[in-house]
Amino acid sequence: MHSRYNHFDLDTFNRHSSFLSGILFSAVPHRGSPVASAYSHSLLRPSEDLQLLRMESEVNRDLHTDFMSAAAKKIPSYVTVLECEQTPFLFRSKMLEMVPLESGFLGLGALYHVHENHHNTCKPRDKNSIFYRITVNFINDILCKCR
């Protein structure tokens, strides 16, 4: 599959990594999503993004490996936030775990499980949301380290 994601641009990463103090991942399927694997085959023309998110995607696996080899030592802070609740899918006819722990945790830094579904983990409902508070704390921690 030809993909705009077919390689990790190490030169660009190296140029910009010195400006990064941390990365916060919110429900990111680093190793693919079982939902994408299960449902991309049933669509007539799944998008390139959906194909990339399949668990068996070599492109995604290569991107993850390249990122880990380049970023693990260069970026000082990582936080991962994962949902604990299943997410309504297919017009609410099914409830599914979009990003399971084994795919969503990078293996670096802090891991937070929030009692939200995937949508509310990626986009908090309001300022009282646990994900919103984790994000604010992460930003404050990074700002303290930069001073």
pLDDT in tens, 54-87: 888 888 888 888 888 888 778 888 999 998 888 8
Residue 4 has pLDDT above 70, yes or no: no
For residue range 107-131, what is the model confidence (pLDDT) as tens digits? Answer: 889 999 988 888 778 888 889 989 9
Total domains in the chain come to 1
Residue 24 has pLDDT above 70, yes or no: yes
* Residue-level length of the chain: 147
In a domain, 5, yes or no: no
In a domain, 112, yes or no: yes
Question: What span, in angstroms and rounded, lies between the C-alpha atoms of 112 and 80?
Answer: 6
Percent of the chain beyond pLDDT 90? Answer: 20
Residue 1 has pLDDT above 50, yes or no: no
In a domain, 96, yes or no: yes
In a domain, 90, yes or no: yes
In a domain, 113, yes or no: yes
In a domain, 3, yes or no: no
Question: What span, in angstroms and rounded, lies between the C-alpha atoms of 80 and 62?
Answer: 20
In a domain, 1, yes or no: no
The neighbouring-strand residues paired with 83 are 114
Q: What pLDDT sits at residue 138?
A: 95
Tell me the residue range of the domain where 131 lies: 10-146
The neighbouring-strand residues paired with 126 are none
Can you give the pTM of this predicted structure?
A: 0.79
